[in-house]
A = this chain, B = another copy of it.
Amino acid sequence: MGRVITFLTDFGSFYLSQMKGVILQRTKDVVFVEISTDIPPQDVRSGAFALMVASRYFPRGTIHIAVVDPGVGTERAAICVESGGHVFIGPDNGILMPAAYALGSPVAWVLDVPEGASPTFHGRDVFAPAAAEIACGTHPEDMGIPFEPKDLDLGSPRVVANGVETTVIHIDNFGNVVLNMKSVPDSDMRLMGRRLKRVRTYGEAGWNESLITLGSHGFAEIAVNGGSAAKLFGLSTGDKIVLEDVSCSE
C-alpha cells in the first residue's frame, strides 16, 4: 500500500481537490487524510499547532503538506523538511517547524518553483507536485539545496504578578480554547472573574461550568461543559490572557 499524504490548509475543499488531482495524475497509490481544511484564514500559528499535534499519530513515511501561506508568490521560499521519518512540505513561514522539531532533528531543502506556477496557489503548482515526486520514491534530499528554515515559536506562559500570562494557540469545533501551556496550574485559577474548575475531563464539571484540563494534545485547555469557552470569554487565536491565581487575591 502507498504513502500516506496529509493536508492542512485554510482554504477548503475546492482548492484542496486540485492539489489531490495533481498528485493522482502522478500516482494513485496514496492515502489522503485531511488534518484540517479550516484553519482560520492565514493563521500560521494555529496551523503549526494543529500540524504538530496531529502529525505524530501518523506512520513513519507520511508526507504532510501544510498550506497556510499569506506570503504565497512573494520571495518566501517553498521548502521540504524531513524529521523522524516524516516529510513536511509547505511555505517557509514556520508552519512546519514545531511539528518537525517534535518528531526529531529537522533537515530542510528548498523547492524549485516551476516556471508558470500560479503566484497565488503554490499548494497546487509547487507543493503537490513535490509531494507526488516524493511519494513516487524521490528522496527529499534530491528535491533541492539544503536550507535553513524559519522557526516559529508557540511561546511559553509567563508568570506575572497575579498569575500566569498565556496565549491562545488553537480553538476547536466545540469552542475549547487551547493555551500554550503544557500543564494545568496546581492552584485554582480564575479567568475574567470566573473560577476555572480543574478537572480530568469535561463531565467532571457541572453543566455550563467553566473548567481547565490537560487536553488530549498535551496542552492546557479551557472549556465549558456543554458550551463554548471561546464564545463565553470572547477569545480568538493569538489572544493573550491572564489566568489569575485565586490564592493571590484571597
A-side residues, CB < 8 A to B, are 1-2, 4, 6, 10-15, 17-18, 20-22, 24-25, 28-29, 31-38, 41-42, 50, 53-55, 57-59, 62, 70-74, 118-121, 124-125, 172-174, 200-204, 213, 215-216, 221, 226
**Measured CA separation A68–B172 after assembly (Å):** 15
Please name 11 further chain A to chain B contacts, defined as beta carbons within 8 Å, in addition to the given A12-B173, A120-B213, sorted by A numbering.
A4-B21, A6-B17, A6-B21, A12-B38, A14-B36, A14-B50, A25-B58, A38-B173, A72-B203, A120-B200, A125-B216
Contact of A38 among B10, B13, B57, B202 (CB under 8 A): B13
Q: How far is the CB of A16 from the nearest CB of chain B, in Å?
A: 8
**Measured CA separation A32–B31 after assembly (Å):** 9
**Measured CA separation A209–B29 after assembly (Å):** 43
Residues in B with CB closer than 8 Å to A11 are 172-174
Contact of A21 among B12, B33, B121 (CB under 8 A): B33
Contact A173 B41 (CB under 8 A): yes
Given contacts A1-B28, A38-B12, contact A21 B54 (CB under 8 A): yes
- What are the 6 tightest A-B residue pairs by CB atom distance, in nearest-first order? A73-B201, A21-B57, A121-B216, A1-B28, A118-B216, A12-B173
Q: How far is the CB of A249 from the nearest CB of chain B, in Å?
A: 29
**Which of A4, A13, A59, A213 gathers most chain B CB within 10 Å?**
A13
Can you spell out 20 A-B residue pairs with CB atoms less than 8 angstroms apart?
Answer: A4-B28, A11-B172, A12-B173, A13-B34, A13-B38, A14-B36, A14-B53, A15-B216, A17-B35, A18-B216, A21-B58, A24-B33, A24-B58, A28-B31, A70-B226, A73-B204, A74-B203, A120-B200, A120-B201, A120-B213
